[in-house]
């Protein structure tokens, strides 16, 4: 499936409407973004701006009311349940604000779970799982359950898990939202490292401007609309500007 296209993800005029009683809420109101293969893209916007809704649409977790999501130029609305499962399993790694590790499983078992769904033989899965845990600095904690790990460590396991089947895309919805500043920065740096080492495209939502420094581009969302897109160059200036005020 050699795709020459420059864009790994494209959304076209995405609209998502939530109706509550008689009121209609346009959580996404015509969002079109083109995301380049291998880039680190941040979705920035205040709480309630539609970041998670966009995350769910791109990740094939929810259907938009209008518009399309293309992954590798395939319109994911055309996929059936098994193909969607395949997409989630092989092409996309998910990272959540609340880590979402499976509580009854050890770190290693959590990391190898997506490999089981992909049909990877279990000894190969264990070997790869250990390697991934080493990569995120938790090789020595492989047999620990999520409850025995700190928030930052749990998120590291989640990052290892998201890389299990060597996906083309990692979707992260507020990955640092439940972490303190320092741990959050460590997680963001780790994601950036994965982006550089594995070439995986990262799409990360955040409402914290401090988490933007690693981004190639920042898409600002407000009220379900793309407000503006900053490039890395612009970003350095603004971040520099912020630091001067300290």
Partner 1 sequence: MQQTYQNKSFTGQERILELPLKKAFSIALQSIRVRFWRSMVTAAGILLGIAFLATILIRARMDAAGIAQGLLPKPDPEAMAAATSRNTWLVAMSLIVVTVGIANSMLMSVTERFKEIGTMKCLGALDAFVRRLFMLEAGFLGVIASSLGWLVGTLIMVIAGGFSKGWPVVGAVGIMGYLETFVWCVVIGTVLTLAATFFPAQKAASMPPVMALRSEI
Ligand X SMILES: Nc1ncnc2c1ncn2[C@@H]1O[C@H](COP(=O)(O)OP(=O)(O)O)[C@@H](O)[C@H]1O
Instruction: Report H helices in 23-170.
Output: 51-58, 81-86, 107-118, 122-135, 151-162
Q: Which residues 173-232 are close enough to bind ligand X by CB under 6 A?
A: none
Using CA atoms, how far residue 238 sits from 19, 21, 42, 202, 210, in Å, is 38, 42, 15, 22, 11
Q: Which residues 132-161 are close enough to bind partner 1 by CB under 8 A?
A: 161
Do residues 198 and 204 lie in contact, with contact meaning Cβ atoms separated by under 8 Å? no
Closest contact distance (angstroms) between CB of 228 and partner 1 is 27
Q: Does 242 bind partner 1 (CB under 8 A)?
A: no
Which option in ligand X, partner 1, Mg ion, none does residue 48 bind, with CB closer than 5 to 8 A by kind? ligand X
Closest contact distance (angstroms) between CB of 104 and partner 1 is 4
Using CA atoms, how far residue 170 sits from 73, 225, 230, in Å, is 17, 22, 20
Q: Which residues 18-57 are close enough to bind ligand X by CB under 6 A?
A: 18, 20, 25, 27, 45, 47-53
Q: Whose CA is closest to 35, among 46, 43, 47?
A: 43
Question: Which residue in the set 47, 82, 182, 241 belongs to the binding site for partner 1 (CB under 8 A)?
Answer: 82
Q: Does 20 bind partner 1 (CB under 8 A)?
A: no
Q: How many CB atoms lie within 10 A of CB 164?
A: 24
User: Which of 144, 222 has the CB closer to ligand X?
Assistant: 222
d(C-alpha 173, C-alpha 218), whole Å: 14
Closest contact distance (angstroms) between CB of 133 and ligand X is 29
x-or-dash pattern for Mg ion, window 131-160, by CB under 5 A? ------------------------------
Q: Whose CA is closest to 198, among 163, 154, 149, 241?
A: 163
Return the SS3 of 77.
helix
Q: Does 98 bind ligand X (CB under 6 A)?
A: no
Using CB atoms, what's the residue nearest to Mg ion? 52
Torsion of CA 148, 135, 156, 85, to 10 degrees: -110
Binding site for partner 1 (CB under 8 A): 1, 3, 56, 59, 61-62, 72-74, 78-79, 81-83, 85-90, 94, 96, 98, 100-105, 113-114, 116-119, 122, 161, 164-165
């Amino acid at each position: 499936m050699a795709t020459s296209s420059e864009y790994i993800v494209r959304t076209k005029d995405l609209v998502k409407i939530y109706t509550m009683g008689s009121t209609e809420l346009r959580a996404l109101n015509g969002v079109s973004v083109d995301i380049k293969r291998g880039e680190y893209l941040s979705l920035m916007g205040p709480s309630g701006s539609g970041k998670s809704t966009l995350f769910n649409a791109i990740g094939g977790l929810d259907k938009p009311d209008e518009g399309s999501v293309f992954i590798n130029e395939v319109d994911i609305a055309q996929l059936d349940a098994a193909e969607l499962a395949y997409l989630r399993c092989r092409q996309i790694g998910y990272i959540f604000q609340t880590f979402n590790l499976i509580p009854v499983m050890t770190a290693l078992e959590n990391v190898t779970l997506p490999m089981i769904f992909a049909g990877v033989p279990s000894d190969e899965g264990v070997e790869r799982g250990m390697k991934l845990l080493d990569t995120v600095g938790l090789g020595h904690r492989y047999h620990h359950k999520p409850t025995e790990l700190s928030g930052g460590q749990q998120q590291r396991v989640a990052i290892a898990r998201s890389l299990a089947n060597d996906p083309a895309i990692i979707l992260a919805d507020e990955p640092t939202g439940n972490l303190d500043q320092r741990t959050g920065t460590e997680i963001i740096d780790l994601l950036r490292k994965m982006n550089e080492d594995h070439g995986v495209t990262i799409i990360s939502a955040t409402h914290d401007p401090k988490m933007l420094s690693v981004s190639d581009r920042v898409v600002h969302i407000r009220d379900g609309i793309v407000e503006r897109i900053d490039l890395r160059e612009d970003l350095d200036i603004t971040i520099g500007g912020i630091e001067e005020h300290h």
